[in-house]
Structure 1
Amino acid sequence: MGRVAGRSRADTRDAILQAAAELVLEVGVNATIAQIAARAGVSKGGVLYHFADKEALLVTLVTNEQEQFRAEVQAALDLDDTTPGRLTRAYVRAGLRPFTTGVGLSRQDAELAARLSSIPAAQEAAARDAERWEHDLAGDGLPTSSTTLIVCAVDGAAFSAFWGVQPSVARMVELQDELLALASRRGVAPPRG
């Protein structure tokens, strides 16, 4: 089975990624290329045309999420804000948006991330993304200790979705306000105690 008539290469690639995500949720990371191809409506060769192997396909699921979050952070930048901590504040707004708007993270997204985290190449991709954020945020003009605290708080809120916990919107708005205030302090270490 070749490419589906009328479907662009990008559409076919997206269909393969969607099929892979669905199957990882249904049967785990041991889903086969044949299963993914059948779900996407392409041949095994069609899958391998877009991705070198199954690991590359699954890692692409991870890197796509990372790039989507990066785009959300960029969209959350306040164009009028030129003060230190600008990128960190955008990270807070983008990272907590699902919680402050009441949407939350879906249990399905959390489960997919958890399953993909068992793949060593996905772990490496996550480590590279964390290093990239560390580098980008290091140039944001805040003390490293403040940035680390802020990122850990935002990421911890997202991690709660792995356990099906959806904190109240009011609490997440309060947390966002506190983190934005911390990200506005220059040269001040976070309070202790």
Structure 2
Amino acid sequence: MSKAHHRKKHPEAVRQQLLEVAGKLSLEKGPASVTLDAVSQAAGVSKGGLLHHFPNKLSLLDGLFVNLTEKLDRAISDKMRDDPEPKGRFTRAYVSVFFQPEGMEDGEQWKVLTIALISEPHLRDRWRQWVERYLAENVGTDSSPDAMLVRYAVDGLWLADLLGSPTMDSAARAAMLERLLTLSRS
């Protein structure tokens, strides 16, 4: 018998490894580099093993999206739970997670997701639905023009950081953060 028959199966670990490899390939070489062959080779998993978890490239990108938005949901929920002030609570959680580099778990994978969102219409629809769900859940506390302005500013900064635009020094970034948090309360 070959070693494959004696090897312990860890399907969730393999699935996670495939997602990480797909993310790394996308970040390093662009979304077009995420092919089933490239991911299976880089992960050291047979193509059949990859197809068991992800039958096509779109399902692989969907898996990456779900994985990252579940982490985002937890981070947003934790920040909202710790904020005693209802008005602007979701917006401040959004700022905390996206504006501050230390607030972003798996920052490199978020870059991958952002790139995938730009290139994949299906994922853009899923992202829009994610945002709309949070906005609907928080319509009474986070629908002011100032709260919207804060979220758009944070999105712009995240995109600027992703693209390597000229960065702000830490003092300017701290001042901007304070201004955005103040606006979230108006």
> Given the two structures, how large is their TM-score scaled by the length of structure 1?
0.77
Alignment partner, residue 16 of structure 2: 14
Write the deviation string for residues 72-130 of structure 1: whole angstroms up to 9, x where unpaired.
222223536043222222222222121xx599x96885366325521222222222222
Which has more helix, going by share of residues? Answer: 2
Alignment partner, residue 126 of structure 1: 127
- What SS does the corresponding residue of 1:138 show, helix, strand or coil? coil
State yes or no: 1:174 paired with 2:136: no
State yes or no: 1:38 paired with 2:41: yes
Matched residue type, 2:47 = K
The structure-2 alpha-carbon separation of the partners of 1:116 and 1:87, relative to structure 1 and needing over 3 Å to count, comes to: closer
Q: Distance in 1 between matches of 2:91 and 2:151?
A: 8
User: Which structure 1 residue ranges, 5 or more long, are not aligned?
Assistant: 186-193
The structure-2 alpha-carbon separation of the partners of 1:150 and 1:3, relative to structure 1 and needing over 3 Å to count, comes to: farther
The structure-2 alpha-carbon separation of the partners of 1:123 and 1:142, relative to structure 1 and needing over 3 Å to count, comes to: closer
- What SS does the corresponding residue of 2:55 show, helix, strand or coil? coil
The structure-2 alpha-carbon separation of the partners of 1:79 and 1:108, relative to structure 1 and needing over 3 Å to count, comes to: closer
Instruction: Give the count of matched residue pairs.
Output: 181
Q: Which deviates more, 113-122 or 176-185?
A: 113-122
> Aligned residues: percent identity?
27
Dislocated runs of 4+, deviation >4 Å: 105-109
Alignment partner, residue 156 of structure 1: 156
Superposed, 1:84-163 pairs within 5 Å as 84-98=87-101, 110=111, 113-115=114-116, 117-139=118-140, 141-163=141-163
State yes or no: 1:81 paired with 2:60: no
Matched residue type, 2:150 = I
Write the deviation string for residues 40-83 of structure 1: whole angstroms up to 9, x where unpaired.
12121211211232111012223323332222222223536043
Decide whether the 8 Å contact of 1:92 with 1:154 is kept in 2.
yes
- What SS does the corresponding residue of 1:77 show, helix, strand or coil? helix
Decide whether the 8 Å contact of 2:18 with 2:50 is kept in 1.
yes
Decide whether the 8 Å contact of 1:85 with 1:142 is kept in 2.
yes
The structure-2 alpha-carbon separation of the partners of 1:33 and 1:64, relative to structure 1 and needing over 3 Å to count, comes to: same
Q: Distance in 1 between matches of 2:67 and 2:73?
A: 10
Q: Distance in 1 between matches of 2:97 and 2:144?
A: 20
- What SS does the corresponding residue of 1:93 show, helix, strand or coil? helix
1:22 deviates by: 2.5
